[in-house]
Amino acid sequence: MSLYKAIMSAIAALFLLSACQTLSTVELRDQTQDELDRLALPEATSRLDQIFLRQLDENLAQNEALRDLALSTSLSVASSSTLSVKGKSSSLSKSTMTLTYDITDRVSKERLTSGTLTATATSGTVSSYYGQEQSKKFISERLARTLGDRLAQRLRLFFLNRETP
């Protein structure tokens, strides 16, 4: 009887797995690239914007096309907070960076999507003040790159699920 249950369980698992659809990164890129090519990226206004937009541009790998969709972004860094463990303070600080984005159709002025992404990191394990400042700078740049990656993924998923006109 247990052999019968094992065989039936295996068959049921095969049916479940065959119903799942997988989508490779290449297929995802191919299905969304035409829409992403229409997206006009904003101009960088700060060093962090420049790092973020460079990372986003590398992820999107846009071709020359009519840019009729406008992307607007805003990066903000929350004040770092000192972490403490069991009442004792340390030199560790937590940094949070928030990205707010908005995609608008330039022709119809319709907002297609908007949202907020957040990334956090800890810095300051170095004992010198100079090292701590360099660590905070590096953390901000790394968070900007991370948010560039996350926004590229979010945009690909948005355009994958969007009904094309």
Sequence spans of domains, the chain:
25-161
Residue 165's pLDDT band (cuts 50, 70, 90): low
CA angle 106, 112, 118 (to 5 degrees): 115
Class of domain 25-161: alpha beta
Q: How far is CA 134 from CA 53, 63, 121, 122, 145, in A?
A: 22, 36, 14, 13, 17
pLDDT per residue as tens digits for the range 38-76:
888 888 888 888 998 888 888 887 777 778 889 999 999
Contact between 38 and 64 under an 8 Å Cβ cutoff? The reply is: no
Residue 1's pLDDT band (cuts 50, 70, 90): low
User: With pLDDT > 90 as the criterion, what percentage of the chain qualifies?
Assistant: 24
Residue 99's pLDDT band (cuts 50, 70, 90): very high
Predicted confidence (pLDDT) at residue 145 exceeds the cutoff of 90: yes
CA dist 33 and 125 (Å) reads 41
- The CB density around residue 54, as the number of other CB atoms within 10 Å, is 15
CA dist 62 and 164 (Å) reads 19
pLDDT per residue as tens digits for the range 106-139:
889 999 999 999 998 887 666 677 777 777 778 8
Mean pLDDT of the chain, nearest integer: 80
Predicted confidence (pLDDT) at residue 101 exceeds the cutoff of 80: yes
- The CB density around residue 154, as the number of other CB atoms within 10 Å, is 16
DSSP, collapsed to helix, strand or coil, labels residue 18 as: helix
pTM: 0.72
